[in-house]
Amino acid sequence: MLPTLPLEKILHSQGFGTRRECRALIRDEAVSVNGEPCDDPTAVFATANLEFTVYDEPWPYREKTYIVFNKPAHFECSHKPIHHPSIFGLLPPPLVLRGVQCVGRLDEDTTGLLLLSDDGQFIHRMSSPKWKVPKTYLVTAKHPVSDELIRRLKEGVLLHDESEPIVALACERVSEYQLTLMLAEGKYHQVKRMVAAAGNRVEQLQRIRIGNLALDTDLAEGEWRWLDPAEIGSPEAKQVQNNHQNPPIGP
């Protein structure tokens, strides 16, 4: 059951700053709860289905945050990027402040489906090799996709520093230069290294699926949406067309 909490604590838990900063926001009349302005930081609310606004921007209460992000190229999945800006700069500050982390990273030049969460157990379960959550990639190759390439990826390729060949769970030619590749592991540069070991080269890489969760066709690169609880951990979880607008953040 979700708790009943003072407004100041609610805002703090949702990433709106220190307790003191949240108190100031509330006293400045920047906050409404369930449609009613509230300038009392000690006012108590049930958090179940709670909707609040900060500077008129709507924000649903979430005990834990799970989001789907369509990663653009030329962003790094790190809080301390080296060569390119961080994807965390593309997310609303409250999500970053409450500590969302990437569930497995994508390379700087890889686009597509990235999950982020502040639920440590969920992150561990989704990224642990033990659970083998399959990830599917759309690969655009430098050279035409041959039957031999598909065969080698399916039969397994030996990567440098690995003792056993790694096999694709599935691999299909999509067009002359494109294939889909489903993998059980998430090793460093795995797709690029496997395709290279099988005699071709990755020109573009997009992650299109994690488990049964497909990248939404209506989520543009750089956009995110809340992950519906029904989509989390459920084997039946399917792509949910979700018309959520990204909640903009107040000043």
Catalytic residues: 107
Q: Is 33 in the site for ligand URA (CB under 6 A)?
A: no
Q: Is 125 in the site for ligand URA (CB under 6 A)?
A: no
Q: Is 154 in the site for ligand URA (CB under 6 A)?
A: no
Q: In what order do the strands lie in the sheet with 51-54?
A: 36-37, 31-33, 51-54, 57-60
> Which residue stretch of 23-31, 86-94, 189-197, 237-245 sits at the interface with ligand URA (rule: CB under 6 A)?
189-197
Report the residue number, 50 or 141, with the smaller CB distance to ligand URA: 141
Rule CB under 6 A: choose which of 19, 154, 173, 192 binds ligand URA: 192
CB of 117 to ligand URA, least distance (A): 18
Residue 107, token pair as written in the block: 């390379």
Rule CB under 6 A: choose which of 17, 73, 98, 107 binds ligand URA: 107
Residues 6 or more apart whose CB falls under 8 angstroms from that of 84 comprise: 74, 75, 76, 108
End-to-end C-alpha distance for the chain, whole angstroms = 32
Amino acid at 198: A
Q: Is 110 in the site for ligand URA (CB under 6 A)?
A: yes
List the x/- string, 202-231, binding to ligand URA by CB under 6 A: ---x--------------------------
CA 228 to CA 99: how far, in whole Å? 19
Size of the site for ligand URA (CB under 6 A): 8
Report the residue number, 76 or 118, with the smaller CB distance to ligand URA: 76
CB of 40 to ligand URA, least distance (A): 48
CA 136 to CA 212: how far, in whole Å? 10
Report the residue number, 36 or 164, with the smaller CB distance to ligand URA: 164
CB of 249 to ligand URA, least distance (A): 28
Q: Is 191 in the site for ligand URA (CB under 6 A)?
A: yes
Nearest CA to 3 out of 42, 61, 51, 65 is that of 61
Report the residue number, 81 or 93, with the smaller CB distance to ligand URA: 81
Q: Is 180 in the site for ligand URA (CB under 6 A)?
A: no
CB of 105 to ligand URA, least distance (A): 7
Interacting residues with ligand URA (CB under 6 A): 106-107, 110, 189-192, 205
